[in-house]
Chains A and B, each alone.
Chain A
Amino acid sequence: MNKPDLKVRIGSLEMKNPVTVASGTFGYGPEYAGLVDLDRLGAITVKGICTEPHVGNATPRTFETAGGMLNAIGLPGPGAQGFIKKYLPFYEKYSVPLIVNIWGKTVEDYSRVAEIFNDQARIGALEVNVSCPNVKEGGALYGTDVNLFRTVVDAVRVRTQKPLIVKLAPNVADIKVFARAAQECGAEAVSIMNSYPAMAIDIETRRPQLANRTGGLSGPAIKPIAVKLVWEAARAITIPIIGMGGIYTPEDALEFIIAGASAVAVGTASFTDPSSAVRVIEGVEAWMAAKGIGSIAELRGTVQA
């Protein structure tokens, strides 16, 4: 039996397999290096970075729910220069492609952070976070208003030659509108989806379970939502889609690829089991080999719907 070709291309970014990790669930990489062979991954996507250091939200920041969890971490981070100094050198000893998730409070912030990272050869692509549900400034607003969305993607596009992946918000009336806008603005790919805006309340104290009051729902609970959005977007655009939302098993990843995703990201599953992403890679390869499917392209978007 021949080994299937798992390679995926996102512009100039070449992934040896279609599995990355979802931004925010894998830290900056070193945190999991003792448990996961990072070079097995198709790419690592690090936690969102803006121009300046950011403190994030108060605690409690996460809350477990049935089949998932809420988070409102609020994008704390070391800022662009802090990331370059503190974390980029770590990647010298690895060959795994690096995707850096970027965000801003203003359009100018997005441009500046894209420009700073454009000079960093080790960074393979930028994922533009226009859909964080947990930061008041910018964040979700840029992801749900298509005019603002275009403004941000345009602004980043002119400042970087690196492949751009735009991470879409799930809470929009029509995902196709945003997927097309990303493609028209010159993005190399979209990632679908960010966590879904959600809330949980302690009935005894009658207070929200999160300090931020609301957060983003992730985990198996959102997987069918994400599959539907990927399926819809895949029929509207020709650029690759990185599918994510509750992927725990190889079967989950295959479902996204059949729906139309070229690649996938494992997120919350890394908390449950840090070896999830590697197990997904191995299982996808074994399943494709068993079915005689030669490449991801051969499988992608083959849903009979």
Chain B
Amino acid sequence: MNIEELGKQIELAHGSGGKSTHRLIETAILPALKNSTLESLSDAAVINCEEKRLALTTDSFVVHPLLFPGGSIGKLAINGSVNDLAVSGAEPQAILLSLIVEAGLPMEIFLREIKAIADASSKAAVQVIGGDTKVVEHGKGDGMYITTTALGIVDPRINLSPRRIKPGDQIIVSGPIGDHGITILLARGEIDLEANLQSDSRPLWPLVKSMISVCPTAVKWMRDPTRGGVATVLNELSREIKMGIVLFEESIPLREEVRGACEILGLDPLHIACEGQFVAVVEKDLLSELLKELRKVPGGEGAVHIGEVREKPPGVVLAVSTYGGSRRVDMLIGDPLPRIC
């Protein structure tokens, strides 16, 4: 393990979901816990269990503020985990919930979050079947941290594997990106903009299910672009498959509010977190079928084709504009949006 490369201590950037996080996982965690399921670094682990394939995932949620337009930490904690299952092609079955609460948190807020958890799980059609609660000293816990662990059953018809990806495959996104990340920035008052924007936190399984029902094999890979945004998940993919990924700059779906906020701070929307979208690699021939189907599902109306996989340049994500040159889209570097989950 190379300490020099990691730095002397844990920095906030190690949790940004970008380059530093990637390095921390690859150089510190993976070598120590070596096994093939872990090393695939997918959103959920898939376990073969007699006839069925189980998907298991866990995620911790730290967000400030706890409540924001369109959601709160409780809702995020449920949707975040069930979405990691959904993009692994698994229907959520059960959730374990672990709460770390800071002493002094108003009971009102605690109850509000429990209700948010209950609402979100019933909406996602999944039950919280166990859990744990710890209280830490005042000043040591940012109000509340939540860890959820979710179990799902992989739909037998779907076959997700980066190994199936070939040059010519197409990339789609389920709707406008960056809503969550910018909502949080606004809620924190970091951008002084009047914007009617909400977090996009929502369960993705209905959308995924609709694709599986029409042409399950057409979908080869899926991720939910949370921390680090679309740029980071696609960079991870391009490095893994050693192919190029080209995004068509003009077709990336963005709300005006998100565009404006990014403009003010000079941010790339491709680096901004989503909590209710997926990015998928699909077969070219079935692209329009899939999009047509997705757009029929409530919440899938905004699904669009945003790019494609090419043989070259290997390991690089490019954004091209119609009459401009191409720019390299890197993983999120540093930590311009600290502690967004």
Query: Do A and B truly interact?
Result: no
Chain A interface residues (CB < 8 Å from chain B)? none
Chain B interface residues (CB < 8 Å from chain A)? none
